[in-house]
Amino acid sequence: MPPEFARSLSDSHCGRQAASQFAKARSQPSFCLPPRLSRGLSAVGALPPQVRQFVEQSAATCRPDKVHVCDGSAEENRRLLELLQQQGTAQPLPKYSNCWLARTDPADVARVEGRTFVCTPRMRDAVPAGGAASGQLGNWMSPEDMRAAVSQRLPGCMAGRTMYVIPFSMGPLGSPLAKIGVELTDSPYVACSMRVMTHVSAAVLEALASGEQFVRCLHSVGRPAQPRASARRGWPCDPERTIILHKPDSNEIVSYGSGYGGNSLLGKKCLALRLGSCMARREGWLAEHMLILGITTPAGRKRYVAAAFPSACGKTNLAMMQPSLPGYKVECVGDDIAWMRFDEQGRLRAINPERGFFGVAPGTSSSTNPNAMRTIFSNTLFTNVAATSDGGVFWEGLESELPEGVAVTDWLGQPWERGSGRPAAHPNSRFCTPAEQCPIIDPVWQAPEGVPIDAILFGGRRPEGVPLVYEALSWRHGVFVGAAMRSEATAAAEHKGKVIMHDPFAMRPFFGYNFGQYLAHWCSMERRGGSKMPKIFHVNWFRKDSQGRFLWPGYGENCRVLDWVLRRVEGEDIALGSAVGLLPKPGSLRLDGLRETPDLQQLFSLPKSFWAQEVEDIGRYFEQQVGEDLPGEISEELQALRQRIAQM
Ligand code: OXD
Ligand code: MN
């Protein structure tokens, strides 16, 4: 139990009762660890004292029947999967090797942004002056309200279940860029998924043995006050009272009520991005919602690029791209999160703090992402995809890969027919798969020192007005470009339909502190990196013509844009000034070998009325959402863009 909450709960009647029950329970067999797991460091009694205290206090409140300290072994994983099968949470997929399909409660299928809070004494530390306590750039809660929310939900929430203690490292253990967390959860599904997504092992506990601190992550699928009529066997949750709380001051996360993805795999969005961004600010680095890829040119020069795209913009596809241009090679370091820090020579270096991919399944196929397809058919936990009668999986996008005569069962467990008008897989269904299985995983993806970043891409789904690629005029202009990012909304969160939303740095749901201060932190990076700062670009693969057809083929052809980006990094004179940034000079974007020549005129056009409207929208957004916390540098960049557009 995080110290703050432990104090408030042990002051309450139920906390006292829980504490004494737990004290009794400790001497009773019900608290014993499963025999194989009770040896050595795996036993609660042998945990480093600060971890043991967290476990004991949390167990006193949540009152699980048992506590199991995870060692991350294959044998432990096998037993957890068997348990998931017995509980009706997951079923094996005999068509593949050690793959499983879990189906969630239909009320628990995505991140719940509206119920996700950053808890700080002052509202202004969490959300900018312009916004409300619950606004577009995050939700704030006071520590008192957090304590109340916790004490209304946690006491007894794990009764009848096992609490799994998951020691994990985000980033290779021992890397100066890595961070350690301990997640306590009553979900064996979460325990299995955390083993894929993070480094789980007893060695993590050994690393804590000399008393270091760690991020305290407490998760429960919850226990509704009244049994839910529509509850699904095998997927307990409490959707009405779901809440996800982050306390940056003490590095604590409490998540209650949901077993799904970013709500429950607390190393990912909660630690690596929300608390990560706060740690990064304190310690002078960047925690970002970015993929990292390595790209080798035909001349044999290797460079690394980090890219921020909002959810469901093809981030995983780009991270694993199969380049169409001969001689190019792309290798994947990560598909979702980058932690970036300056090394002693002033170069920005990045690690992928994760160990697996939690990718959106629909749309993934041999034509869109052949490397993902070569990754995911062993040791993978699929969630909410459709099942096939030959023991495999199916989702929208795999129609041409579905064998003849095979029947499909949809994500709700109902028979499904093509043309039924219902999706077979949930749009936010996922594969959770080990990164090391990716055939193009970068040879140094686990290097403790990280990889040097030469370019940063921002992007989004912009059907209109935004060119295929442009380069920022300076670091500061690049920060403005990141702040002004907009994209069609995603299925990864609870939003419905397609609306163009502001999603600065693709971090809108993931800021751990005031976005105005975040921008100031980004601007300040230039002072650390000086002339070695990566160049910043904006890309848009999704521009459409007046008939609604994409103007750019995308996927493997995006390496043509990366080619231009890398040549700019090398200093080639292939860019031309424009009102929004530097555009490719005519003839500099390689189009050789494309089946159809794209309409470059339309792809790169900058309609004045569109940009005049865009700049006004961005200005209004900054005014309303960031207010006086907007750094002067960013208002100046906005003003400069306004002027350049007026002169177009
Ligand atoms: C994700 C997301 O799940 O960004 O990665 O929503
Ligand atoms: Mn993401």
pLDDT value for 491: 47
pLDDT value for 211: 85
Q: Which ligand ends up closest to the CA of 509?
A: 1
Helix (H) or strand (E) holding 524: helix 515-529
Q: Which ligand ends up closest to the CA of 492?
A: 1
**CB neighbours of residue 83 within 10 Å:** 16
pLDDT value for 6: 34
Measured in Å, residue 631 CA sits from the centre of ligand 2 at 26
Do 394 and 402 touch, CB atoms closer than 8 A?
A: yes
Q: In the predicted model, what is the mean pLDDT of residues 96-113?
A: 97
The residues, any chain, with a CB within 8 Å of residue 410's CB and separated by 6 or more, are 386, 416, 422, 423, 424, 425
Q: What is the DSSP letter of 550?
A: B
Measured in Å, residue 262 CA sits from the centre of ligand 2 at 9
311 is catalytic: yes
Measured in Å, residue 311 CA sits from the centre of ligand 1 at 5
Measured in Å, residue 540 CA sits from the centre of ligand 1 at 19
pLDDT at 384 over 80: yes
User: What is the model's pTM?
Assistant: 0.93
User: Which ligand 1 atom lies nearest to the CA of residue 493?
Assistant: 6
Q: Of the listed 8, 255, 311, 365, which one is catalytic? A: 311
Do 170 and 198 touch, CB atoms closer than 8 A?
A: yes
Does residue 379 have its Cβ closer than 6 Å to ligand 1?
no
What does the DSSP assignment read for 6-22? HHHHHHSHHHHHHHHHH
> How many residues are listed for the chain in this entry?
648
Supply 272's token pair.
Answer: 């690596």
Do 579 and 648 touch, CB atoms closer than 8 A?
A: yes
pLDDT tier for residue 34 given thresholds of 50, 70 and 90: very low
Q: Which ligand ends up closest to the CA of 290?
A: 2
pLDDT at 132 over 90: no
Q: Whose CA is nearest to atom 1 of ligand 1?
A: 311
Do 104 and 264 touch, CB atoms closer than 8 A?
A: no
pLDDT value for 494: 53
Q: Of the listed 111, 219, 232, 341, which one is catalytic? A: 111
pLDDT value for 297: 96
pLDDT tier for residue 4 given thresholds of 50, 70 and 90: very low
Does residue 362 have its Cβ closer than 6 Å to ligand 1?
no
Q: In the predicted model, what is the mean pLDDT of residues 271-279?
A: 98
Measured in Å, residue 359 CA sits from the centre of ligand 1 at 8
Question: Which amino acid does the sequence have at 205?
Answer: L
Cα first-last separation, the chain: 59
Residue recorded with tokens 């932690």: 339
Q: Whose CA is nearest to atom 2 of ligand 1?
A: 311
User: Which ligand 1 atom lies nearest to the CA of residue 360?
Assistant: 3
The residues, any chain, with a CB within 8 Å of residue 99's CB and separated by 6 or more, are 92, 93, 376, 377, 378, 379, 380, 381, 382, 393
430 is catalytic: yes
Q: What is the DSSP letter of 532?
A: G
336 is catalytic: yes
pLDDT value for 45: 85
Which is more confident, 39 or 422?
A: 422
The residues, any chain, with a CB within 8 Å of residue 148's CB and separated by 6 or more, are none
292-326 tens-digit pLDDT: 999 999 999 999 999 999 876 889 999 999 999 99
- H helix intervals, 245-314: 261-264, 276-283
Does residue 360 have its Cβ closer than 6 Å to ligand 1?
no
Half-sphere exposure of 188 (CA within 13 A, CB side): 22
Supply 428's token pair.
Answer: 């936010």
pLDDT value for 13: 32
User: Which ligand 1 atom lies nearest to the CA of residue 311?
Assistant: 4
Rounded CA-CA distance 237/234 in Å is 10
Does residue 264 have its Cβ closer than 6 Å to ligand 1?
no
Residue 210 burial by Cβ neighbours in a 10 Å radius (0-12, 13-18, 19+): exposed
Measured in Å, residue 262 CA sits from the centre of ligand 1 at 7
Do 98 and 391 touch, CB atoms closer than 8 A?
A: no
26 is catalytic: no
pLDDT value for 219: 98
43-63 tens-digit pLDDT: 788 899 999 999 999 999 999
Q: In the predicted model, what is the mean pLDDT of residues 459-482?
A: 97
What does the DSSP assignment read for 442-503? -TTTT-TT-EE--EEEEE----SS--SEEE-SSHHHHHHHHHT-EEE--SSSS--S--EEE-
Q: In the predicted model, what is the mean pLDDT of residues 451-470?
A: 97
Closest CA to 85 of 258, 233, 264: 233
Q: In the predicted model, what is the mean pLDDT of residues 350-360?
A: 97
pLDDT tier for residue 496 given thresholds of 50, 70 and 90: low
- β-bridge mates for residue 409, sequence order: 387, 415
Closest CA to 427 of 369, 491, 493: 491
User: Which ligand 1 atom lies nearest to the CA of residue 261?
Assistant: 3
- Name all contacts of 174-177 with Cβ < 8 Å and 24+ positions apart: 174/207, 174/448, 175/351, 175/448, 175/449, 175/450, 176/341, 176/448, 176/449, 177/285, 177/339, 177/341, 177/349, 177/351, 177/353, 177/448, 177/449, 177/450
313 is catalytic: yes
Give the SS3 label for residue 85: helix
User: Which ligand 1 atom lies nearest to the CA of residue 111?
Assistant: 6
Question: Which amino acid does the sequence have at 372?
Answer: A
pLDDT at 28 over 70: no
Do 510 and 493 touch, CB atoms closer than 8 A?
A: no
Lowest mean pLDDT, pick from 309-318, 482-491, 581-590, 613-622:
482-491
Q: Of the listed 99, 217, 313, 332, which one is catalytic? A: 313
Instruction: Tell which one of 109, 112, 269 to mutate to probe ligand 1, the residue whose CB is within 8 A of the most ligand atoms.
Output: 269
pLDDT at 495 over 70: no
Does residue 311 have its Cβ closer than 6 Å to ligand 1?
yes
Mean of the per-residue pLDDT values of the chain = 92
User: What share of the chain in percent tops pLDDT 90?
Assistant: 86
User: Which ligand 1 atom lies nearest to the CA of residue 262?
Assistant: 3
